[in-house]
Structure 1
Amino acid sequence: MPDSSVSSVRLFSPENDVTSPLTRATPLIVMWPGFGMGARYYDPMGKELARRGFNVATGELRGQGTSTARASREKSWGYHHVASEDYPATVRAAKKAFNLPEAYPTVFLCHSMGGQIGALFMARDDANVLNVKGLMGVGAGTPYHGGFQGKQYWRLRIGSQLMKAVIKLKGYQPEGVLDFSGYGRQAKDHVLEWIRYSQTNHLRELAGEDCDYEAAKAQITKPVLLTRCINDEDCPIPSCNNLAMSLPKADVEVEQLSEPLGHNRWAREPEVIANRLERFIREKIR
């Protein structure tokens, strides 16, 4: 990665006897984890999609899973760094490993935070260069407190302020007893940007940014499907709608799935999401 850290990309290829009904239009699927999640967690989904005939790659968010980046008082990064550096580097590495051209059709399958960053990436020129044709999110919305109720609302309103106090004290979000969110060790800029996102529903003034991301997202025209499972307390439908509203020109759809697979379990029981992804590709990806 540009910051000299190293991150592995998990790869899944179809078996020789598998034929995909999508034939020559079958895109590369690149999966992106949620906050605090390592790529290995999504292996059952990768294997299921490969069984259906897809080449699949799973990246890491910086500082998570196999990523060697380690947040500290001296070392930080934010949304912009991951969207502009880690996402394109991962896609290029995956295409090289699969011996695919840079412009080979690609679709993102994004979980939670991975979808927030994925939307930023889709607003960048690299999305066109790498031919990322669309994005499906699972449990992917904004953390804006107005999209939540009950304990999740107060967790965002009060918990985010506790996180901010810890970061001022330590210079980063540590793991352990001071990890009030449960996301593990995280970079100062990334968490502070997430906290502002939870307060304003906008991602502005990002560390190192080279564009107005909110304005750029408003110009995305590609297909975006935002789904959540019916019992996902971490991403209610209003949260998905809040992300959708930042994409006014996109071919965007928000859908609640009736299966009670929570915020994470769908990745370990992949059939439902794999079916929905295939339909998204058949209907929307050109």
Structure 2
Amino acid sequence: MTTRTPPFPVLAELSAPDGAALVVRALARPERTAPVVVVLPAMGTAARHYTPLVRALHRRGATVVTTDLRGHGESTPVPVRGVRFGYRELVEDDFGAVLDAVERAFPDAPKLLLGHSLGGQLGLVHCGLRQPRLAGIVLVASGSAWWRALGAESDRRPGLRWLGRSLLCVAGAELLGYWPGNRFGFGGRESVGLMRDWARQMRTGRYRARGAAADYEAALRNVDLPVLAVDVEGDALAPPRAVDHLCGKLPSARIERWRYRSADAGGRKLDHFRWIRHNAGLVERIASWARFPAAGAETSGHGGRDGAASGARA
């Protein structure tokens, strides 16, 4: 990308109760009932970085909606000292506003969330808490950040380095008033509140947020949707055991597990982020699971929630 602005039309400009602003963009299909995929990014990852995935899903028959997590890309506020938003604001304010905007724009289309890393984790919490009528959820490289579930699969001491890193990150964020992850190679510029919530989940394995409307762990148990949970070969940030730990929190969901391997990506090397560009095999797997119309076919009505293709209202 040579520009910092995503090359897709603006769908909506939203304001949260605390004044935060979100820009929602969409690459829309002409078919009224084409499936809509709402992409929730990873921590520190601007929505523009998903452009290859957006274009691939669009070619395969989906309308694709993107937005930046607050504090990144086109979303505000930028984390500085005194800006303390965390998981609660993303889960309870931002995601619902985005899904409402998508519903207004595409009322007749089935809708799915596609969450990468933190976007997938918090997207699940939102679904359990607010119960949006989605057709399904796709998790890609999205696993619990619990330290015991992290690290390479061959690591005999899984996640110990990540546990130590989380303590240093939150200490640095407390000292500076924000986390300058863009300078230290982990995350982006993050608010101190978000880093606190992330470090807490890494230590305990549980999702909690100060001032939350409900118990987030209990909310996860209420997720009653089809879920395609994909771990990615070469991904030490969301290895299979981390994805399994997150899926274990979803007893009511109808989960299908799959591993995206280099062989599925035409032999390209994969990791926590490379799959975004090397996505061909993954897009086809999502299309099959969600029952997208056959490539090149006109999109018509859909049915059957288990097939992740029923009409939905966010």
TM-score, normalisation: structure 1: 0.87
* Residues 152 and 57 (structure 1), Cα distance of their counterparts in 2 relative to 1, 3 Å cut: farther
Give the superposed CA RMSD: 2.1
Q: What does residue 197 of structure 1 align with?
A: 201
Alignment of 1:109-120 (within 5 A): 109-120=114-125
Matched, 1:284 2:307: yes
1:148 aligns to what?
150
Range that drifts further, 135-144 or 72-81:
72-81
- Secondary structure of the corresponding residue to residue 98 of structure 2: helix
C-alpha contact (below 8 Å) 1:30/1:56 kept by paired residues: yes
Match of 2:62 among 49, 54, 57: 54
Hey, what does 1:210 align to over in structure 2?
A: 213
The residue type equivalent to 1:271 in the other structure is: A
Is the contact made by 1:10 and 1:39 (CA closer than 8 Å) also made in structure 2?
no
Report if aligned partners of 2:150, 2:158 keep a CA contact under 8 Å in 1.
yes
The answer (yes or no) to whether the contact 2:25–2:65 under 8 Å persists in 1 is yes
Aligned ranges for residues 39-78 of structure 1 at < 5 Å?
39-78=47-86
1:84 aligns with 2:86: no
Distance between the aligned counterparts of 2:148 and 2:240, measured in 1? 12
Using the size of structure 2 for normalisation, the TM-score is: 0.80
* CA distance in structure 2 between the partners assigned to 1:70 and 1:29 by the alignment: 26
Within 5 Å, give how 1:127-138 maps onto structure 2. 127-128=131-132, 131-138=133-140
Q: Is 1:275 paired with 2:275?
A: no
Q: Check whether the contact 1:63–1:71 (CA below 8 A) recurs between aligned residues.
A: yes
What is the distance in 2 between the residues matched to 1:201 and 1:69? 28
Runs of 4+ with deviation above 3 angstroms: 149-152
In the alignment, structure 1 residue 162 sits paired with structure 2 residue 205: no
In structure 2, the partner of 1:256 is 259
Q: Which amino acid aligns with 1:13?
A: A
Answer with 160-169 or 145-154: which moved more: 145-154
Segments of structure 2 that go 5 or more residues without pairing to the other structure are 1-14, 263-268, 292-305
Aligned to 2:12: none
Say which SS state the counterpart of residue 37 (structure 2) adopts.
strand
Unaligned runs of 5+ in 1: none
Contact 2:260 2:282 in 1 (8 A): no
Paired residue secondary structure (1:67) = coil
CA distance in 1, matches of 2:278, 2:52: 7
Query: d(CA) in 2 for partners of 1:273 and 1:4?
Result: 37
Residues 129 and 222, structure 2, Cα contact 8 Å, conserved in 1: no
Residue identity opposite 2:279 in structure 1: P
